[in-house]
Structure 1
Amino acid sequence: MGWAIALHGGAGDIPRSMPAERRQTREVALRHCLDIGVNALKTRRHALDVVELVVRELENHPNFNAGRGSVLTTKGTVEMEACIMDGNTKRCGAVSGLTTVVNPISLARLVMEKTPHIYLAFDGAEDFAREQGVETVDPSHFITPENVERLKQAKEANRVQLDYTQPIPKDAKSETPLADGDSQIGTVGCVAVDNEGNLASATSTGGFVNKMVGRIGDTPIIGAGTYANNLCAISATGKGEAIIRATVARDVAALMEFKGLSLKEAAAHVVEECVPRGTVGLVAVSSTGEITMPLNHTTRHVSACATEEGYSNWIWNSEEN
């Protein structure tokens, strides 16, 4: 058995009309983050260190919906969330409602390692960040022109949406907000198994564009958007409310644990049978180095993976390809 790693920069109904420069920028960044993770695993870094390192890098990139690129709430603010989990010990940490923390995933790890708790949110999480001396900035750091435009677009359409959406026709009528959002692309995550068989998962997001202040998605919910045990590690992306209802990440692990399914079989069952179509994509690795990256969206998925045996894959295409 050797190491294996998979990461995602969002999954959903990514339109083929997405501007080429936006696609290329994200693709280069995702490949760069994969290289960082692979190099860390080659130097025998623990899986937990690897997933944190990769997700930190994704958070620092303004073209992903996490950290620097986090989308805006209905009030034009950011509320970031993140979660990290060590599979072999099941230790985990989660945060949400962050407005000043540069790397939410690292704060989530500090919650895991420095407190008796699992989950801190809003003012309590911000206070803890200052106590721990993690890097913070003025909230304006996260207010990018692109996300201001996305919020304007969502408000004009009277809807909640993820990162990218196609232009809305001037004669379009959208009088009712969509409670689960319009899934396009959002959330970043990484899963890994190292040479010692240690598994870990990390996920980070800015949530939905035009989401209500105080809304919490699946990312920081253990067993929903993020989960790891001694069999597998999972990071999900898509419509958070649907992922929470289906306990997506935990159900993949449970099917392996109690039904004896392979990682690929378990993930395929959850993605295809347990949640509505167009709501979820995930990346997962097993303790034996198996990787799977299924989705039930109708167009494209952006993810990448690599193994010690030399297998690597890059996906920004339809589920049929």
Structure 2
Amino acid sequence: MEASIMDRKSKKCGAVSGLSTVVNAVSLARLVMEKTPHIYLGFHGAEAFAREQGVETADPSYFITPENIERLKQAQDANRVQIDYTQPVQKEAKDAAATIPNGDSQIGTVGCVAVDSEGNLASATSTGGLVNKMAGRIGDSPIIGAGTYANHLCAVSATGKGEAMIRGTVARDVAAVMEFKGLSLKEAAAYVIDQVPPGNAGLVAVSSTGEIATVFNTTGMFRACASEDGYSEVAIWDSPLK
């Protein structure tokens, strides 16, 4: 597991990666932000810090399910790397699924952005990473500026193929485009995602004034929003949220 968090009000951020026992990675990233002079802790150091802070942990077997085992096996058999939570193909459906392009069933990563009544912004992102990735590989979710970013203009949580997100500094670029090109949040988000190769990226974002943007260049992206006046919406396909 890996995660990051950023708080515009305190101008602080925290990140963790290489976790194998921590149940809630974002909670640990927040403790890094609030309790240490550092921004990023990884692997054994992050696990040791988790024990020191008394965060909820579990035996590594907690994270292993039959679905995850089958997902890994199929990725290994296909000699490919895929996003976590890609639905494992049932044995009887493998032949039929062979014609589906790689990535169409890929989902994963959890991101959240928030703004309060005073315009303070925050963002957090966590993920299990890619299935069948190389040992030690770190994706975009714990990288401030790639998977997570928040400043005085907006908060952004981005997801997709991590290498593409890191190369594009996607989360930070949304804020930069707003600031230096004078675009609205929705315009900036659309501009940034358009710079990423198709099928690689998506993001959720909110501005200091409460404008919401959910933009992606994939078939779909699980997303939702809610406001203090009781409005809420959930969507998957290309039907923009208000």
TM-score normalised to structure 2 length:
0.91
**Equivalent residue number for residue 227 of structure 1:** 149
Q: 1:220 to 1:291 in 2, by over 3 A?
A: same
Partner of 2:61: 140
CA distance in 2: counterparts of 1:149 and 1:291, whole angstroms: 37
**Is structure 2 residue 116 aligned with structure 1 residue 194?**
yes
CA distance in 2: counterparts of 1:118 and 1:166, whole angstroms: 35
Rounded Cα–Cα distance in structure 1 between residues aligned with 2:97 and 2:66: 25
Q: Give yes or no for the alignment of 1:291 onto 2:217.
A: no
1:51 matched to which residue of 2?
none
By how many angstroms is 1:318 displaced?
A: 3.5
SS of the residue corresponding to residue 301 of structure 1 reads coil
Report the equivalent of 1:169: 95
CA distance in 1 between partners of 2:97 and 2:237 (Å) = 30
- Separation in 2, partners of 1:133, 1:113: 15
Q: Quote the Cα distance in structure 1 between the aligned partners of 2:183 and 2:57.
A: 43
For 2:170, which of 239, 248, 265 is the aligned residue?
248
Which residue of structure 2 aligns with residue 120 of structure 1? 41
C-alpha distance in 2 between matches for 1:208 and 1:85:
23
After the TM superposition, list the runs of 4 or more consecutive aligned residues in structure 1 that deviate by more than 2 angstroms. 165-173, 307-313, 318-321
Please list, as runs of the form range in 1=range in 2, the aligned pairs for 1:251-270 lying within 5 A after superposition. 251-270=173-192
Question: Residue in 2 aligned with 1:300?
Answer: 220
Q: Distance in 2 between matches of 1:305 and 1:217?
A: 25
Contact 1:89 1:229 in 2 (8 A): no
Aligned mate of 1:282, from 194, 198, 203: 203
Indicate the residue corresponding to 1:157 in structure 2. 78
* Contact 1:232-1:284 within 8 A present in 2 as well: yes
Q: Which protein, 1 or 2, shows the higher relative CO under an 8 Å CA cutoff with sep ≥ 6?
A: 1
Name structure 2 gaps, 5 residues minimum. Answer: none
Tell me whether 1:106 sits opposite 2:32 in the alignment. Answer: no
Distance of 1:213 and 1:160 partners within structure 2: 12
Is the 1:87–1:230 contact (alpha carbons within 8 Å) kept by the matching residues of 2? yes
- 1:166 shift after superposition: 6.6
RMSD over equivalenced CA pairs, Å: 2.0
Match of residue 13 from structure 2: 92
Shift in Å at residue 268 of structure 1? 0.4
Query: Which structure 2 residues correspond to residues 29-68 of structure 1 after superposition, within 5 A?
Result: none
Is the Cα contact below 8 Å between 1:235 and 1:283 reproduced in 2? yes
> How many aligned residue pairs are there?
233
Distance in 2 between the 1:171 and 1:261 partners? Answer: 42
Instruction: Write the letter of the residue equivalent to 1:144.
Output: T
Deviations 1:87-115 (A, max 9, x none): 23320000000001111111000001111
| Structure 1 match to 2:234 | 314
Structure 2 residue identity aligned to 1:134: V
Residue 287 of structure 1 and its aligned partner are, at CA, apart by 0.1
Q: Secondary structure at the match of 1:153?
A: helix
* Residue aligned with 1:126, SS: helix
Unaligned runs of 5+ in 1: 1-79, 174-180
Identity of aligned residues (%): 72
Task: Report the residue type matching 2:79 in the other structure.
Answer: N
